[in-house]
Structure 1
């Protein structure tokens, strides 16, 4: 999913509300005499992991989950209040379509203050080129897909311009950019051969920047951790994770530590320097050889 930029305030509220709900439900469980999540799972027929995830704010509780929880703990008088809480969390949780209701430009603009305050970036993307390193043509292709997939207003030109504003931070201040891409990102075809070759040329140019560390995880590299979703770390304060349906911000220190650990493990599978250059040049040759009939279908 192409990055549209974090909005940490709303998604942080959602996570905090979910954790507070989980703590409240944990109290109900203990008050009802279920000393462990395992005992409660046996009583409800749920997996123990589900109980743990709900209590620790790792999983949204459904309205039916609330009814079951309250029935099992003899707290039926709390059902209406807790269901209202669940609905409030659902409203806070960031759905892409809601964020993009007026187009993509607004979300791009929202990213700029976060970028301006960040000193150290850690970026992982297993399939696409990171937004701040994109060419205008490549970025426009991502926004066209966003437009079509979420059926939102077409403001591709304005959104692209706003995304490109982020590139100023590559050249200003004392920021450090640690960017990891899976090799697949060099081949994910957005816009056809000419767009891809232009984007790959752009990578060759920016990788010379002293403040940018660009690593590529080869397709056959031994992995110390599964690739997972793309994520962006902004110092040690915020992690933005993206899915097809939503973006969410991680602000809990213990969870940020997990993403930092994941990034370090991914780095162990990456190559740098000349090896990156060689892989980019090989990808350019791939698009040079793309048959004309295949290009025409793009």
Structure 2
């Protein structure tokens, strides 16, 4: 499994490793003996037991058979799949195109009541215009996706927006001022997007905060993140998509969002910054 900076992934890997160590010890085997019976190098056993490497499903089956713990196989395979699902590389998520990646989160969006989003690179997906979304997804497709289904992916996101703005969901959006001026599309598309952002911010179930450039802060997030109630956080890394479900780590994101909300400007001041960005487009 690819490495990830998330403590959720690290701790889940360690928990799995500890269960495998207990199974080995219950069988009365040391690491070298288990390695010999499994038919692999002792270094592999060491990496699995330390949590450095995640075992494959085949490794788990072999480990449990050698230790006489066949009844543990199904549960352990479920555990390793759960660890793997925390972090997904973009190329794995998008291997069948961008539409599938958009569809994969539909159920999560439907059951979420309160969305909290921190955006430092591009506009939050749920408030993007069709033209802005097309420009962003086209850029992604050219960079890393072989299949060209951008039009279908845009349609899927737009359909999701209709559901989200039905009035049954609430939104707390924090957007860096840089995003208002980021050249991810042509000037006409950007002007339309900024105008749409002003319109969306006037809705009673939307709270929009803009973090002005130059605002001092002790800890600046480096990735965009989406909070789905307090059940899950999705972090968009450069290399992939990280799902965080550990309550203690989710609480860290809640605190970060609350701190940044206090630093942001809202209402008329936020609209003034957006209008200034529109004016700068000429």
Band of TM-score, shorter chain: 0.7 to 0.9
**Equivalent in the alignment of 1:61:** none
1:1-298 → structure 2 map (5 Å cutoff) = 17-23=12-18, 75-76=31-32, 77=34, 79=42, 80=44, 82=48, 85-87=54-56, 92=85, 93-288=87-282
Q: What is the TM-score with the length of structure 1 in the denominator?
A: 0.71
Post-superposition, which runs of at least 4 consecutive aligned residues in structure 1 deviate over 3 A? 13-17, 21-28, 76-81, 83-93
Tell me by how many angstroms 1:101 deviates: 0.9
SS in 2 for 1:268: helix
* Pairs aligned (count): 233
Per-residue CA distance 1:68-114 (angstroms, 9 max, x = gap):
xxxxxx73335445388445669654111111111100111122211
Q: Is the contact between residue 171 and residue 205 of structure 2 (CA under 8 Å) also seen in structure 1?
A: yes
Q: Is the contact between residue 122 and residue 233 of structure 1 (CA under 8 Å) also seen in structure 2?
A: yes
Q: Is the contact between residue 97 and residue 145 of structure 2 (CA under 8 Å) also seen in structure 1?
A: no
Distance 1:91 1:221 in 2: 37
Q: Is the contact between residue 110 and residue 164 of structure 2 (CA under 8 Å) also seen in structure 1?
A: no
Per-residue CA distance 1:53-79 (angstroms, 9 max, x = gap):
xxxxxxxxxxxxxxxxxxxxx733354
Shift in alpha-carbon separation, 1:185–1:27, aligned structure 2, 3 A: farther
Distance 2:179 2:279 in 1: 15
Distance 1:224 1:91 in 2: 32
**RMSD across aligned positions (CA):** 2.8
Shift in alpha-carbon separation, 1:75–1:96, aligned structure 2, 3 A: same
Distance 1:265 1:22 in 2: 36
Distance 1:273 1:25 in 2: 54
Structure 2: gaps (5+ residues): 1-5, 36-41, 58-79
Shift in alpha-carbon separation, 1:271–1:23, aligned structure 2, 3 A: farther
Q: What is the TM-score with the length of structure 2 in the denominator?
A: 0.75
Shift in alpha-carbon separation, 1:213–1:224, aligned structure 2, 3 A: farther
SS in 1 for 2:182: coil
Per-residue CA distance 1:150-196 (angstroms, 9 max, x = gap):
13211110001111122123432432100000101101112211111
Distance 1:248 1:276 in 2: 30
SS in 1 for 2:230: coil
Distance 1:203 1:22 in 2: 47
Q: Is the contact between residue 140 and residue 160 of structure 1 (CA under 8 Å) also seen in structure 2?
A: yes
Tell me by how many angstroms 1:14 deviates: 6.7
SS in 1 for 2:106: helix
Structure 1: gaps (5+ residues): 1-10, 32-73, 289-298
